[in-house]
Structures are given as structure tokens and as C-alpha cells.
Amino acid sequence: MKAKRPTDARKLSHKTLEEIRIRAVKQVEAGESPESVIAAIGMNPRNIYRWIALYREGGESALRAKALKGAAPKLTGAQLQWIRKTVIGKSPLQLGFEFALWTREMVRDLIARKYGIRFHIVSIGRLLKKLGLSAQKPLRRAFQQNPRLVEAWTRHEFPKIKALAKRQGAEIFFGDEAGVRSNYHAGTTWGEKGETPVVISTGARFTINMISAISSKGHLRFMTVHGGVGAKVFVGFLKRLILGAKKPIFLILDGHPSHKSKIVRKYVESTNGMLKIFLLPSYSPQLNPDELVWNNVKGRVGRSMLAGPIDLKKRVHSQMRWLQKNPQVVRNFFQEPNVRYAA
């Protein structure tokens, strides 16, 4: 028996394609599997999921054929550039909106307010994608942060450090400290509509503190600590960091007092050039790739049910060991937009 030949959508009218889309989605909504529905039609399997997303986002009207003439109002190149620049460079609060994060609805209202053109919400999503924009979870920036110092760091200071490291054959690490709490929960869970799920915990609270350092080559060093991370503890980590090192290490940190303490400076001097410390601009955690390590660990551990402090330590160690065994994951941290400068 010959396999069914794929349907060539290019040979079908807009009206026929519209009917196929609507009928297919209704079949899925009635309980049939998307795979069986699209197989019966003989089209690309990716189509059915795109149609379902459109339907659930904009209803049946989102599946209907768009008129070829006069359906979508046109925006000039200058207008498109203004929209992109505004969404990237301004907070909605600056323009009189009541929410601090851009949504498609607000962009639609922005365009209507500025140019008197009204778009369908689905069209706004397509428009933003064409402008190279995507929905992202924003990073918080401290009010005390100096944008000029941040720019100077990424454009001038770090390139100088990188060039010096190359001349001296050194490897650059970014370091940070963090704590993982037993009552921290990450991610989402399923529950009955209208009822917020309850996460069951032991009721006890316990914390483990950690110090780590990563390089763009995928190397990861870490140490867990019971209690605070002061200058003496930090020196203990530095000793571990350069233990067995065959080349100098440049360590980049934030400006925490322990990183600038007398005992740390004295130890660095005693290494005879095997260790050098550089400081990031103040209030700029988004420039430190090691922050992504802690986000990863907290996210993984935060999904676990913990029996006690020993269990917490085991879970943290397990995730950190996993990262050490998977250097490609660590290297990928350096591809995040805010830290790509350090790759």
C-alpha cells in the first residue's frame, strides 16, 4: 500500500486552507490527537501545533484567511524603528502605562496612540518577532548601578584583562558566593483551577552557603560552607582554586568587603603572580556569569523535597558535580546576553 502523498498547501485556495485549519483544531479540541489529525490531512506535523497555539491565543478568527488587500495596516520603516527603539529603551511606566514590563497589549496600544493604527494582538506578536524581539524574563538592575561604568567594563576594562591574561597564559574565572535555603521553591506545578497548590515542606529552615568560580572554558570550582563566608573562609577557597594550577588564574569578583580585605590581599601577594583579583563595577551582578550557576543550582534543588541539612548539602553537591562533569553547560552560561562579552 502506497503512503499518502503530502498535501501541497501552495495549490490550495486561502478559503480551503482556512477550512482545513479550523476543522483540524476543532478535532483536536474534541479529543483527537494532533498527530493523527495532521497525518490524515497529509501536512507538515508542525502546522497543527502552530494552529492550536493561534486558536488558543486569538480564537477561531486567528485561523481565518487574511485578506490579501487592505487587511493589515502598513507601518513605515521609520515607524517600525521607533517602535523597536521604544520597547527596548523605555519602560512602559515612562509612557504612562501602569505596568513596568512590555506586553503585546501595551505595544498595540502604544502603536494606536502614536500612529492611530490598530493591530490584532496576534499581529503584534508577529511584528515584534520581525523586529528581532522576544519575550524574556528581565534581569533586575540596582538603582545604584552606574550604566557608564558597566559600559566601560564590557568595552574597555575586561578586554584589557583578557589581553593581559593571554600574554601571561592565565585563565580567567568569575567567582561569587550564594546561599541555598531549604524553603526556596522554584518552577511551577499543576493544580485545580482557582486553587493555589500548596508545597509541603518539613517546616524547618536551613541554609548552606557556597563559593564557586567558573571559566568560559567550562571549568568549575566550588566549596560549600556551614556558616558565614568571611575573609578567612574566602582565602580557603582561593587556596583550593589555585591548588595544582599549572598557569596563573585571574579571578573576577564583585566588590564585597571580604574580597578587598587585608587578609585576602596578603594571600594574593603571597602567590607570586599565580593569582590576581579584579573587581566588577558596583551593583552589577548581571555581568557575572557565575550568577547563572547559582540560578541553575537553586532551580534544581528548589524542586526537591529536603529531609534536613545533610540532604540539602547532598543535593547541592550533586548538582555542582553534575555541572563539573558537563562543561558544555557551563560554557553555555557565557552565551547569555548580559555575559556574552566574557565568552
Question: Are residues 323 and 176 both part of a single domain?
Answer: yes
Name the amino acid, one letter, at 227: G
pLDDT over threshold 70, residue 202? no
Say whether both 54 and 90 belong to one domain: no
Burial class (CB in 10 A: 0-12, 13-18, 19+), 169: exposed
Query: What is the rounded average pLDDT of the residues 140-159?
Result: 81
Same domain, 126 and 171: no
More confident residue, 74 or 171: 171
Whether residues 15 and 100 share a domain: the answer is no
**Among the listed residues 307, 298, 251, 305, the one whose alpha carbon sits nearest the alpha carbon of residue 276:** 251
Nearest-angstrom CA–CA distance, 45 and 35: 7
Residue with the bigger pLDDT between 97 and 203: it is 97
Top pLDDT among 189 and 228 is at: 228
* Strand-pair partners of 178: 210
The gap between the terminal CA atoms of the chain, to the nearest Å, is 54
C-alpha 297/C-alpha 224 separation (Å) is 13
The whole-number pLDDT of residue 6 equals: 53
Of 137-146, 153-162, 183-192, highest mean pLDDT: 153-162
Residue 218 located in a structural domain: yes
Number of domains in the chain: 3
State residue 302's pLDDT score.
52
- Per-residue model confidence as pLDDT tens digits over 27-70: 888 888 888 888 888 888 888 888 888 887 778 878 876 644 44
Q: 136 in a domain, yes or no? A: no
Which pLDDT score is estimated for 305? Answer: 54
H or E element that contains 58: helix 45-58
More confident residue, 231 or 63: 231
For residues 322 and 218, the answer to whether their CB atoms sit within 8 Å is no
Domain range for residue 123? 77-130
pLDDT above 90 for 182: no
**Residue 196 placed within a domain:** no
For residues 211 and 237, what is the distance between their CA atoms, to the nearest angstrom? Answer: 7
Is residue 96 domain-shared with residue 212, that is, in the same domain? no
d(CA 103, CA 82): 17
On whether the CB atoms of residues 88 and 104 are closer than 8 A, the answer is no
Residue 190 lies inside a defined structural domain of this protein: no
- How far is CA 255 from each of CA 49, 126, 141, 244, rounded to the nearest angstrom? 48, 42, 16, 27
User: How far is Cα 70 from Cα 72, in angstroms, rounded to an integer?
Assistant: 6
Q: Which residues contact 162 (CB under 8 A, 6 or more apart)?
A: 172
Confidence (pLDDT) at 139: 52
Rg, Å, the chain Cα set = 27
Residue 167 and residue 92 share a domain? no
Is 81 a member of any domain? yes
Q: Are 322 and 300 in contact (CB under 8 A)?
A: no
Claim to verify: residue 152 and residue 82 sit in the same structural domain: no
**Among 234-243, 300-309, 334-343, which is the least confidently predicted range?**
300-309
Whether residue 71 lies inside any domain: the answer is: no
Mean pLDDT score across all residues of the chain: 82
Concatenating the DSSP letter of every residue in 156-222 gives: IIHHHHHHHHHHHT-EEEEEEEEEEETT---S-----TTS-------S---EEEEEEEEETTS-EEE
Q: Which residues have CB under 8 Å from 303's CB, separation 6+?
A: 185, 186, 187
Q: Residue 335 carries which DSSP code?
A: T
DSSP three-state, residue 306 = coil
What average pLDDT does the segment 135-161 reach? 79
Contact of 306 with 200, CB cutoff 8 Å: no
Does residue 195 lie within any of the structural domains? Answer: no
CATH code (residue 152): 3.30.420.10
Place of cell 512590555: 102
- Do residues 114 and 42 both lie within one domain? no
Residue 141 has pLDDT above 80, yes or no: no
**Does one domain contain both 23 and 84?**
no
Q: Is residue 68 part of a domain?
A: no
Nearest residue to 259 via CA among 250, 251, 248: 251
Q: Give the CB-side neighbour count of residue 277, counting CA atoms within 13 A.
A: 25
For 281-335, what is each residue's pLDDT tens digit? 988 888 999 999 988 887 666 545 556 678 788 888 898 999 999 999 999 999 9
Q: Clarify whether residues 100 and 58 are in a common domain.
A: no
Task: Give yes or no: residues 100 and 230 share one domain.
Answer: no
Q: Is the pLDDT of residue 197 over 80?
A: no
In eight-state DSSP terms, residue 303 is T
Q: Say whether both 168 and 316 belong to one domain.
A: yes
